[in-house]
Amino acid sequence: MKRVVLATRLPLQRAQEILQYRLSGIATVLRSAEPESLSEVTAVIAEPDITLRAEQLQHIDGLRHIVIPSAGTDNVDLQAAHSLGIDVCEVRELVRRDASDHTLALILAVVRDVRTGQFAAAHGQWDVTLTHPRQVQGTRLGLVGFGTVAEAVARGAIALGMEVRAHNRRGLSVDAAARGVRLAPDLRSLLAWADVISVHVPLTPATKGLIGMRELSAMRPGSAIVNIARGAIIDSRALRQALDSGHLRTAALDVMDPEPPPADHPLLHHAQVLVTPHMAWYSPISVLATYERVGDELRNILTRGADERLHG
């Protein structure tokens, strides 16, 4: 009997049960935050809270497949996996709706200056004049990156009356252009135009620190930034300086650098920063649907043989 490991620190008992049901008679499903400590493992399902680097992959005896049930592969050393003959894929389509919904929620929160109002009320200052909300209609939204999540965000934002532009190396889809999304010629012009910037690029060596002091300084005075991508894409120190100086009004972050953030992280309790715990991808319904898909894909690959590849 083959062994499949659900690698996570999260209490995803129901996901494990779904996998075991889908793989009944084919594989035993274990849950562990340290898959490298186990032997004879054919496949690992790596949640984003688990990191698999070269030294760990080398110690997982028999590993042939890694599945990441969310967007982004930065938690897995892809080069090492490839050199070891390990297939890596993402099953992310089912979490796109949740991610775009959460992004829109954070965008609305910064447009309406929710964090300032919440912080003031919690500290006994029941005074609306302390806040600086904008009207949603007419707000300029700039999207850094334009994958499937960003495109869904654009559709929702346009429906709410926002103007949307995007910076994307691959351009825009015909549908997005038809809906009114405009392509910014470069990142700097997008930053200078937008009232709110929303970050949607994957974390790679090229995008780490993509938004630093230079980029934040190029943003409009009083503007805001939203990040549901990866924490390291924005320079945390530079962001704090931009907020403390008053150049930026507020920020909403679903991701931090590092994760989980230490208790004294300068942005975690900042009066102008709304933080959520990397939950944009999550809802119980989408998690269960994702793991049903993962289980079915693994069943296919494990019954067809080691030369077949997963389809993400």
Distance between CA atoms of residues 129 and 147, nearest Å: 38
2-70+283-304 matches 96-275 in fold? yes
Tokens standing for residue 307: 């030369």
Region for residue 72 given its phi and psi (left: phi exceeds 0; alpha: psi -120 to 50; beta: otherwise) = left
Distance between CA atoms of residues 92 and 310, nearest Å: 13
Within the chain, strands assigned E span 2-7, 27-32, 43-46, 65-68, 87-90, 140-144, 163-167, 182-183, 196-199, 223-227, 248-253, 273-275
pTM for this model (two decimals): 0.89
Angle at 209 between CA 247 and CA 177, to 5 degrees: 80
Say if residues 39 and 66 touch (Cβ distance below 8 Å).
Answer: no
| Amino acid, single-letter form, for residue 116 | T
What strands lie across the sheet with 248-253, from one edge to the other?
Answer: 182-183, 163-167, 140-144, 196-199, 223-227, 248-253, 273-275
**What are the mean pLDDT values of the chain's consecutive 10-residue runs (312 residues total)?**
94 94 96 93 94 94 92 90 93 85 99 97 96 97 96 98 96 89 97 99 95 98 98 98 98 96 96 96 91 93 63 46
Region for residue 40 given its phi and psi (left: phi exceeds 0; alpha: psi -120 to 50; beta: otherwise) = left
- Among this protein's residues, is 278 annotated catalytic? yes
- Residue-range domain boundaries for the chain: 2-70+283-304, 96-275
254-292 b/e with 16+ CB inside 10 Å = b?
bbbbeeebeeebbbeebebbbbbebebbbeeebbbbbbb
Q: What is the pLDDT of residue 310?
A: 46
Q: How many CB atoms within 10 Å of residue 17?
A: 13
Q: What is the pLDDT of residue 312?
A: 45
Q: What is the pLDDT of residue 311?
A: 46
- 3-state SS assignment for residue 88: strand
By the 10 Å C-beta count (0-12 exposed, 13-18 middle, 19+ buried), 124 is classed as exposed
- Among this protein's residues, is 47 annotated catalytic? no
CATH architecture of residue range(s) 96-275: 3-Layer(aba) Sandwich (3.40)
- List CB contacts of 185: < 8 A, sequence separation 6 or more: none
- Among this protein's residues, is 259 annotated catalytic? yes
Q: Which of 102, 278, 293, 297 is catalytic?
A: 278
Q: Which of 40, 55, 93, 259 is catalytic?
A: 259
Query: Which residues partner with 153 through β-bridges?
Result: none
Q: What is the pLDDT of residue 197?
A: 99
Q: Which of 230, 249, 265, 270 is catalytic?
A: 230
Q: What is the pLDDT of residue 173?
A: 86
H or E segment at 157?
helix 148-159
Q: What is the pLDDT of residue 71?
A: 79
CATH architecture of residue range(s) 2-70+283-304: 3-Layer(aba) Sandwich (3.40)
Q: How far is CA 139 from CA 106, 161, 162, in A?
A: 14, 8, 5
Q: What is the pLDDT of residue 90?
A: 85
- 3-state SS assignment for residue 58: helix
Give the orientation angle of helix 96-111 with respect to helix 148-159, to 10 degrees.
Answer: 50
Query: Which residues partner with 199 through β-bridges?
Result: 144, 227
